[in-house]
Amino acid sequence: MNKEVNYLAEDSQEKEGLSFKEQILRDLAKAKGTEQPKPVEESNNLQEKLGLGQFVLPSAQEEEETTASETDIPKVQKEESGEPELAPLESPLPTVEQIEAETAAREEKEFNTHTTKVPVSYPTNQAVEESKAPEELVQPAVYGTEQDTKKLSRSNRTAQTINTKKRQNKIAGKIVKTVLILLLLGIGLTGFFAYRYVTSALQPVDAKNTKYVTVKIPTGSSTKAIGTVLEKAGLIKNAQIFSYYAKFNNYADFQSGYYNLQKSMSLDTIAKKLQQGGTDTPQDPSMEKLTIPEGYTIDQIAKTIAKLKKSKLSSDTFLKKVQDDNFITQEVAKYPNLLGNLAKKESGVKYRLEGYLFPATYNVTDSITAETLIDQMLAAMDNTMSQYYDVLASKNLTVHDVLTIASLVEKEGSRDQDRKNIASVFYNRLNQNMPLQSNIAILYAQGKLGQKTTLAEDAAIDTNIDSPYNVYKNTGLMPGPVDNPSLSAIEATVNPAKTDYLYFVANTETGNVYFANTYEEHEKNVQEHVNSKLTQSSSSS
C-alpha cells in the first residue's frame, strides 16, 4: 500500500485549527506509517496547478535538507509515463529543529516574494483539483470602492448623478440667496449711513458753542478751498460736502476777507455769511447787532443802545461820550474833512455830532465801548461823504450845511425824486433869503421828532417857539442837523433837482408831497390835501 503525504490546503488548515508546524509533523507521521506513497508530481507542475508562477525555489542547502528528510518517503511513479515505481529512500527523519528552521526560511521567502501570503503545501490530487487560480479567488467585499460603483446598474448611476446635481443646485441656490441678501443689506446700510452722515454734516458742529472763530478767506479762493479753511477751523464737518452743497444751491459769490463765525452756525448760515463779505482786517467777534435806522436822532440812538442784551454798553455812557468836548476834539483831528466845519457849542446846537453818525448796522463786541461805537459811526459817515468832498468844494458848500439840509430832506419826503424836489425848494428859499419854514426843525426843538404825528398835530404846531431851530422865525439854516440822514437824502441834497419851487406841503399820513411856485398855489394844495382831510376826520368823529 502506497504511502501518501497529505499537506493540508489553506481551508483544511483553518478547519482543523492546526499550526503549520503541527501539520507538517502530523503529515510526516502519517507518511511513515503508510506502506506505499502516492506518486509526487514535479515541482513545476505543482507550481502551475497552484497558480504560483513566481514561487521561489529553495536554495541548494534547503534542497539537500529536504532530500535528506524525504529519504523515507517512497517515490510515486507517474501513471502517464509508465515509469517503474521508485523505491523509497531510507533516511532518518528530520529533527524538530530542522523542521522549524526550514519552515521559518520558507515563510520568510514567501513573505518577501508575494504581496498576499499563500500557504505552501504539497497538495494531494484532491487538493490540486480544489485549488483555484489567484485571479479566480474571491476577494473580500469592500463597499464604497470603484469596483462596487462599476457593479451598479446604469439607472442607479443616473439616479445617483441626478440626486447629486440636485443637492449641488440646492446648495448653490442657498449660497446665491445668501450673497444677494448680504449684498442688498450692505447697500441699504451704506445708503442709510451715508444719508445720516450728509444730514449731520449740514448741521452745526456744536449747537451749544457760541464762541466766535475768526477765519480769513483769501481773494480768489475756490469753493473747495473755502471749505478746507472752514473745516480746519472746526466750523464745518466736511469740506467736500460744503463744496457740493454750495454748488447745489448756486452759492458761487463768496466774498474774501475776515469773518467771525460760530460753531453753532449751520452750514447754510455760514454760506450766507460768506456772501455778505468780510472785513479787511480782523475784527472782534460780534455778540449782537446794533441797527441805527435812517433819520434817527442821537436821543433815539441812545434808546436803541439801552435795548442791547449782551453788551455792557449803556445809553448814559453813550450820551455822555457824544457830548464830551475832549473826545470830539480828538475825532475832529481824526476826520478833518468830515468835521472841519463842525458847529461850535456856543451856536446853540443841541448835539454837536448830531447828523454825523451814519445810520447803519454795527457789530457789538464784548470789548466795545461808547467811544469805539461813536468812532465807527463817524468813520462810516466819512466814508460815505468822501465821494462828495470835491463836489461840495466846487459848489461852495460845506459838509455841515449839506448834512443840515439833508436832515430836513430825510424827514420831509421818502421818495428819491420828492427828496430832490424838496432840496431844491430849500436852496431856492435860502437864495431868496426866505425862512425854510419846516415843521421838522420845530419838532426837533420840542423833542418830538421821530414820534408819530397826525395831520391835525402837524397843522397845529407852534411856529412861535423860541429856539434857534425855529426856522419859521429865523432865516437861514439851523445850528446843525436835526437827525442823522441817509445816503439817499445826502445824494438829493448834493445833487438837487433844478426847479422854481418855493413851497411844498406833505401829507404825513400818505407821504405824498405837493409842490408850488407861488403862495396861491401852495394855499390851494394845503386846502385840498390837508385841510379837507382835517374837515372830513373831524366830521366823522
Q: What tens digit of pLDDT does each residue of 347-366 get?
A: 999 999 999 999 999 989 88
* pLDDT at residue 477 greater than cutoff 70: yes
Averaged pLDDT, 89-94? 55
pLDDT of residue 107: 67
Q: Domain check: are 277 and 298 in the same one?
A: no
| pLDDT more than 70, % of the chain | 71
pLDDT tens figures, 146-169: 555 555 566 777 777 888 888 888
Q: Are residues 303 and 439 in the same domain?
A: yes
Same domain, 371 and 273: no
Output the pLDDT for position 529: 85
Confidence band, pLDDT 50/70/90 cuts, at residue 216: very high
Side-chain-side CA neighbours of residue 177 (13 Å): 6
> What pLDDT was estimated at residue 94?
63
Mean pLDDT computed over 469-481: 96
pLDDT over 50 at 1, yes or no: no
In this predicted structure, what is the pLDDT of residue 106? 76
Highest-confidence segment of 40-49, 207-216, 329-338, 522-531: 329-338
* Total tally of structural domains belonging to the chain: 3
Which of 250, 283, 316 delimits the end of a domain? 283
470, 524: one domain: yes
Any idea what the CATH number is for the domain that residue 222 is in?
A: 3.30.1490.480
Residues 269 and 327 in one domain: no
272 and 373 both lie in a single domain: no
- Compute the mean pLDDT over every residue in the chain, rounded to the nearest whole number: 79
Question: Is 504 inside any structural domain?
Answer: yes
95 pLDDT tier (thresholds 50, 70, 90): low
Q: Tens of pLDDT along 407-429?
A: 999 999 999 999 999 999 999 99
Read off the pLDDT of each residue in 69-94 and give the average, rounded to a whole number: 48
Domain check: are 279 and 396 in the same one? no
Domain that holds residue 217: 212-283
Q: Same structural domain for residues 276 and 310? A: no
Which segment of 27-41, 147-161, 236-250, 515-529 scores lowest on mean pLDDT? 27-41
> How would you class 541 by CB atoms within 10 Å of its CB: exposed for 0-12, middle for 13-18, buried for 19 or more?
exposed
**Closest residue by Cα to residue 2 from 34, 32, 42, 29:** 34
- Domain end residue (candidates: 254, 283, 312): 283
- Using the 3D structure, point to which of 283, 311, 336 is the last residue of a domain: 283
Q: Which residue has the higher pLDDT, 96 or 147?
A: 96
Please determine, for residue 225, whether its predicted confidence score (pLDDT) is greater than 80: yes
Place of cell 406841503: 505
Q: What is the mean pLDDT of residues 158-184?
A: 81
Query: Is 534 a member of any domain?
Result: yes
pLDDT at 359: 97
Classify residue 20: in a domain, yes or no: yes
Q: Is the pLDDT of residue 489 over 50?
A: yes
160 located within any domain = no
The predicted pLDDT at position 409 comes to 97
Q: Do 333 and 386 belong to one domain?
A: yes
Mean pLDDT of the 98-115 span: 68
Instruction: Tell me what the mean pLDDT of segment 200-209 comes to.
Output: 77
- Counting other chains too, the contacts that 513-517 makes at CB distance below 8 Å and 24 or more residues apart are 513/412, 513/413, 513/415, 513/418, 513/421, 513/422, 515/421, 515/425
Domain presence at residue 152: no
Residue 193 burial by CB count (10 A; 0-12/13-18/19+): exposed, middle or buried?
Answer: exposed
Local confidence band at 533 (pLDDT 50, 70, 90 cut-offs) = confident
Between 515 and 541, the more confident residue is 515
321 & 457 share domain = yes
239 within some domain: yes
Q: Do 121 and 236 belong to one domain?
A: no
DSSP calls for 258-326: EEEEETTS-HHHHHHHHHH--BSS--PPEEEEEE--TT--HHHHHHHHTT-SS----HHHHHHHHT-HH
Is the same domain home to 321 and 244?
no
Cβ(470)–Cβ(441) below 8 Å: yes
